[in-house]
Every structure is written in C-alpha cells, then in structure tokens.
Amino acid sequence: MFVNKPPMGFNTWNTFAENISDEMIRETADAMVEKGLLAAGYQYLVIDDCWSKRQRDPETDKIVPDEKKFPHGMKAVSDYVHSKGLKFGMYSCAGVRTCADYPGSFGHEYLDAATFAEYGCDFLKYDYCYKPKDADGALLYRKISMALRSCGRDILLSACNWGCDDVHKWIRSTGAGMYRSTGDITDSFVSFRDIFLSQLDNFVYSAPGCFNDIDMLTVGMRNRGNVAASGCTDEEYRTEFALWCMFSAPLMLGCDVRNIDDVTLKLVTNPHLIRINQDEEGRPPFVANCCGDTKAGIYVKVMSDNELAILFCNLADDDRRMWLPLENIGIPVSSGKALRLTDVYTGEDAGAHKEYLMYRVPAHDTRMFIAKIVNA
C-alpha cells in the first residue's frame, strides 16, 4: 500500500501493555468516534503486543488470540472497529518471540499474514525482539512485506526495529509505510526531547511512501499507564505534539482516549497542527537558526499552497530569545517580501513581518506559525 501521509491513530502499548481486552478495544473505538478523533484523522486503532496465547495452536501452527482477553476472537473485534469507520491494526514480531514473550512470526510469515488477513487487519506493527543472530533483518522485513502483499488485503506495514542496522537506508525499499527509528518513549520531557534530537539528521529519510516513526505519543498520558515516567506539563506535551507534527511523524496516540482530557483533545485535534503534519508535499523541515543551537531550534517546513510552517522550539531548560532573520529562509530584505503569520495554537493573525522574527520562548515551550509570503 502506498502511504502518502503520516498514518494517524491510537496504539494500546503506552497505556495498556498486557491489560487489553475486547471490551477495552470496543470502548476505545467508541471514544475515537464520539470525541471527534476519527473526524480529525485518527483512523487506525492498533492492538500492540500481548493479544495472543503464549503458544501457537499445536495443530494449525497459527497464532491464536488469548480467549480471556478476546473471548469472541479477533474477527469480531475487527468487525466492531470497522463498523465505527475505523481501521484495525495488529502486532507481531520478526523474531521467534515478541518483546513481551508471545509467539513471533519468524519462519511463519506467510501463515501469519494470512491469519491477519482473516482477521480483517489493515495495519501490522512488526517488532524486532528475539531475532535469530544470523538472520538478516532487512530480509525479514522484506519477507513480511511480501507476505502481506500477497495475502489478499491491503495491510500497511509498520516496521519497528528501533533504528538498528541503519534501518533508514533500506526500509523504504522493503515496502514498509513507516519505520520506528528509536528506542521506546516514556512519559517525560527528557524522553521525547532525546528521541527527537536523535533523529534530527534522519528526517530527510521520511517522505510519502515511508515515514520516520519516532514512537507513539505520550501526549495526555498524565503519567498513567505502562510507560509512565515523570509526566509532562501541558506546555511540554504541546512541544511534543508540535515536533511530531512538524517532522511529519506518524501520529499514534498513546493515552487512554476513553478518558482524554479537554486540553489534550483540543491539542491533538488542532486543525492547523494536523494540516502541517499531513501536508501532501511531506517535506522535511530545515534548521533555520543562525547559531546552530539544537536545543533551541527554529525549524521551517515548506508546504503546499506556498505556505510555510515555522516552529520556534525551546528544548533548553532556560527561557530563550529566539531570533530568525528571514534571510536564513531565503527571503532577504531586498526581496521586498514579508511573512504574514497565523498563530497555530490560537488560530489568530500574528501580523506581517519583514527582515526578522523574534520571540521569547519559555523553557520547554514552543511558538508555532503558518506563514504566507506577501509583499512587504
């Protein structure tokens, strides 16, 4: 399947880990529709690790769902998810066991792809634990990709090898639609900051067809659930979401959307932020700082309809005055042009500016704009 925009949805892992069930998935599907998340673009509901029994069925060799968690089987869950207008995602692993020690797909790729197709699956996250040492990782992703491409259903392959083996260099050629490039996120500022910074040079390897996945969002988790750590302030969550949007990362919510709070809901459905993330040109931003300070980066993304997105992102621990000469983005004073800004967070007109932009940005916070080039 050709993935032309960063996939958007929800994944069970960050909050629920093994505490997943038929009921919880149905409630999540209901919430995604009722709270307007589907309408905002969040269409995949993905069940991560821990959904199956510990062993394959001895007769059929198939992976089978844990009947305590999913007493009606996976097809029933998938049918319910589809009945809500959502798409259904599942999880397996390139190795012999999954990371949480359930059966992996190594050596069973074609059988498992057929099983996922029977379930009515639309998305498969494919992990990297327990890979036999001598097995070639790129070949394992090619294998599952070919298995999915011949299983009779359109299934998006979401690779998850945490950035190992220079994955950005070869993953696109396998047919995957997105690829995890980092280790696991936890619910803290330091975690998302370091994940983002580790990929700063790799966002050029993210484009329509295959997007760099910097992990499921922790936005709105409020320090509850499986990857709880120190938690984040509202400003920090906003920074996280702004970075994911700006860098065209897949937007997979990880909070419990059944109980999502108003601040989080407003943030993750902000139409300007989503427009920036989903822009059809899918271009990577460039760094526009004059002094190369990556902790206080100014990023500019060229978008369709001659618009630009501009992010002033202060990941430092102190407030910063952030200065962007328009010359740095290719608009010198001699051009006679200015930038007319819309504040992405408030939706308000933020004026027309020539020569430079300058903002004081508090520690861990951001300012973000959509800009049009106009006559000065």
List active site positions. Answer: 127, 184
Q: Return phi, psi of residue 2, to 5°.
A: -90, 120
**CB 373 within 8 Å of CB 308:** yes
Cα 274 to Cα 40: distance, rounded to the nearest angstrom: 8
Q: Return phi, psi of residue 183, to 5°.
A: -70, -175
Nearer to ligand GAL, 10 or 312 (CB): 10
CB of residue 185 vs ligand GAL: minimum separation in angstroms? 8
Asked if 127 interacts with ligand GAL (CB under 6 A), we say yes
Nearer to ligand GAL, 124 or 267 (CB): 124
Contacts of range 329-335, beta carbons closer than 8 Å, 24 or more positions apart = 329/286, 329/288, 329/300, 331/373
CB of residue 298 vs ligand GAL: minimum separation in angstroms? 30
CB of residue 173 vs ligand GAL: minimum separation in angstroms? 22
Tell me which of 154, 184, 327, 343 binds ligand GAL, using CB under 6 A.
184
Cα 359 to Cα 313: distance, rounded to the nearest angstrom: 11
Residues 32 to 71: which contact ligand GAL by CB under 6 A? Answer: 48-49
Nearer to ligand GAL, 129 or 313 (CB): 129
Nearer to ligand GAL, 49 or 240 (CB): 49
Among the listed residues 239, 203, 251, 241, the one whose alpha carbon sits nearest the alpha carbon of residue 312: 239
Nearer to ligand GAL, 69 or 272 (CB): 69
Tell me which of 32, 124, 157, 160 binds ligand GAL, using CB under 6 A.
160
CB of residue 5 vs ligand GAL: minimum separation in angstroms? 21
Cα 372 to Cα 318: distance, rounded to the nearest angstrom: 30
**CB 116 within 8 Å of CB 151:** yes
CB of residue 159 vs ligand GAL: minimum separation in angstroms? 11
User: Whose CB is nearest to ligand GAL?
Assistant: 99
Nearer to ligand GAL, 162 or 345 (CB): 162
CB of residue 81 vs ligand GAL: minimum separation in angstroms? 19
Cβ atoms within 10 A of the Cβ of 152, count? 11
Number of residues that bind ligand GAL (CB under 6 A): 11
CB of residue 162 vs ligand GAL: minimum separation in angstroms? 6
Residues 331 to 370: which contact ligand GAL by CB under 6 A? Answer: none
Q: Per the structure block, which two tokens stand in for 220?
A: 């709105």
**Chain Cα centroid distance, residue 206:** 12
Q: Per the structure block, which two tokens stand in for 176?
A: 């995957």
**x/- track of binding to ligand GAL for residues 90-119 (CB under 6 A):** --------xxx-------------------
Sign of CA dihedral 277, 231, 226, 73: negative
Cβ atoms within 10 A of the Cβ of 67, count? 11
Q: What residues contact residue 289 under an 8 Å CB cut-off, 6+ apart?
A: 296, 297, 298, 324, 328
Tell me which of 3, 7, 13, 366 binds ligand GAL, using CB under 6 A.
13
Alpha-carbon distance values, 95 to 49, 127, 129, 131, 142 (Å) = 13, 8, 6, 4, 14
Residues 204 to 263: which contact ligand GAL by CB under 6 A? Answer: none
Cα 47 to Cα 100: distance, rounded to the nearest angstrom: 14
Among the listed residues 280, 300, 252, 275, the one whose alpha carbon sits nearest the alpha carbon of residue 123: 252
Nearer to ligand GAL, 13 or 299 (CB): 13
Cβ atoms within 10 A of the Cβ of 108, count? 19
Residues in contact with ligand GAL by CB under 6 A are: 13, 48-49, 98-100, 127, 129, 160, 162, 184
